[in-house]
Amino acid sequence: MLVELFLKKFLEWIEEDIPYVDVTTRLLDDECYEAILLAKSDGVVAGLNILVKVLERFGFEVKQFLRDGEEFSKGTILAKIRGNVRKLLMLERTLLNILSRLCGIARLTRVAVRKARTVNPKIKIAATRKTTPGMRLLEKYAVEVGGGDTHRFGLSDMILIKDNHLRVLGGVENALKKAKKIKSFSHKIEIEVTSIEDAIRAAELGADIIMLDNMSPREIESVIRELERRGLRRRVIVEASGGINLENIEEYAATGVDIISLGMLTHSVPSCDISLEVVKKCED
């Protein structure tokens, strides 16, 4: 199913890049050539398993050397592609844009997960909804490939009460009471808080997940100690979010939170440098 969804998106992106005709590839004949996908930076493979299937739908033969989730270094050949050179060069930039971005997300996620788990082996590193429009499914997939948690895919997945909801609803207590009245048994309730008092109140009122927003590690430790003191810690999942990066992620992980969510995994990730290089004309 993921391949079918991706193919539909891919065709839309190709249409964006070629609204009428590729005037440059008109210079070429419909001949068979071999090409390689070459890594020019380190990374983690993500999306290649799906792209191979898409390329095969376009009539290409692909020999894949690395699978999604495997790490690669600069100079690694990820795959060899054989087929119509005109068609390949039409697809080149779209293909590389997607693959480079997904590999970058997977790499950053893996770095974050490894750093956090050096001090908290059970912690989950989660993505957010700060994704590129039209790319969410693939970007969340890349986070998963990198060892992270996808968090919710969309607004239908769970009740997540944030700062603006709280302003309109008049605070934690009223928001949670209303949420309990409308929620399905299949939905969890998560609430964003910015103080120890609201975190404790949310736990007492039955929130499933408490998101500690933009709190310092010391403040988070205070919340967890107070939850433990009151016998509430096991009743809630504690998530930290806001102001967390690769430089301080270990400090946050060491507080004992269950989840760290990072918007940076998808909204400001550097893409891996991957190129497509035509190597030679097919010999048979």
- The label of the residue with tokens 């060491």 reads 254
Beta bridge partners of 237: 209
Q: Give 11-38 as a DSSP string.
A: HHHHHHH-SS--TTGGGS-S-EEEEEEE
Tokens coding 117: 């788990």
> Known catalytic residues?
130
Q: Cα(261)–Cα(35) distance, rounded to whole angstroms?
A: 39
Please tell me what DSSP assigns to residue 59.
T
Residue 238's H or E segment, with its range, is: strand 237-241
Candidates 98, 106, 107, 21; CA nearest to 54 is: 98
Q: Cα(166)–Cα(157) distance, rounded to whole angstroms?
A: 19
